[in-house]
Homo-oligomer: A and B are copies of this chain.
Amino acid sequence: VKSTNCRTLPRMGEHEPIRSRENRWFRRFREAIERHDDEIALEGPKQVRDAIDSGWTAIAVAVAHESITFESRGIPLVTFDRRLMKSLSETVATQGVIGLFRRPAADLADILADRTRIAVVLDGVQDPGNVGTIVRLAAAFDAAGVIVTEGTADPFGPKAVRATAGALVSVPVASARRKELVAALEHARLPLYVAAGEPDAGSGDLPSAAAAIAFGSEGGGVSDELRRHGRAVAITTSGRVESLNVAAAAAILLERAFSARR
């Protein structure tokens, strides 16, 4: 009974770690790290476990040969030799464990249906570190989810995932084109607030619930398309800087909305 976790499938490469770069599993993991299309990779035992617990569909878990043991819970384990594992780790810091998952996709309408929490819209945020940091903030301040539009860095790419510091698995993430998002907001009768890049660009009070807040690109701010549909909300600054970093603006506005509703 104790060994039910490993019952369903043999541990691939248990006796013989995979050593070839041509191996199909190795190529599949590498592609998930580099391209993160349908399949994505998560690094580190804790994050992999959290993702499984959150209901993400695990395809396989790669472990370094002679690394820490990882409780497979019926998920195929693939053992790479040190050299192969290291070449995957050039992109991600693995701690000897990398999980291969089906890319989860939350439903746009589900996120917008939440009548008590804020939906975060990332509209052309190009820097993956900023995207990941904002996903982490969405978890910290209990947002309903994150919606990414055209031109936003993929939240499931390795740099963004690292910046989420483990929060990605607890945040529903949906993709939407701007047009589709505007229609869905109207359908859900959800007001859109737009974080203005310039200081004092607007003074609409931020609502505490049932709204979406959009953050734009580091250079140009939120797109005209969303700006036209929404109401500007600005953070007053000293005027000693031209703008705030987009993740700093998100920290301030999401915390403000969260503390207003407590």
Contacts and interface: CB of A to CB of B under 8 A. Distances in A.
Given A167-B240, A235-B255, 20 more contacts: A136-B241, A137-B245, A139-B238, A139-B241, A140-B240, A141-B237, A142-B238, A142-B240, A165-B243, A166-B242, A167-B241, A170-B241, A236-B259, A236-B262, A245-B251, A247-B248, A247-B251, A248-B251, A249-B251, A252-B255
A92 interface: no
B248 A137 contact: yes
A140 B249 CA distance: 11
Contacts of A235: 255
B245 A165 contact: yes
Contacts of A25: none
A244 interface: yes
A133 interface: yes
A237 B142 CA distance: 8
Nearest to A143: B238
Given A235-B255, A255-B235, A139 B240 contact: yes
A166 B139 CA distance: 30
A56 interface: no
Contacts of A245: 133, 136-137, 165, 247, 251
A219 to B, nearest CB: 11
Interface in A126-143: 129, 133, 136-137, 139-142
Given A141-B238, A238-B140, A259-B236, A247 B247 contact: yes
Size category, A interface: 20 to 34
Contacts of A244: 136-137, 140, 251
A202 to B, nearest CB: 15
A242 B164 CA distance: 11
Nearest to A243: B165
A129 B242 CA distance: 18
Interface string A223-247: 0000000000001111011111101
Nearest to A255: B252
Contacts of A247: 245, 247-248, 251
Contacts of A166: 241-242
15 contacts: A129-B129, A133-B248, A136-B248, A137-B245, A140-B237, A140-B240, A142-B238, A142-B240, A170-B240, A170-B241, A237-B258, A245-B247, A247-B248, A251-B252, A252-B255
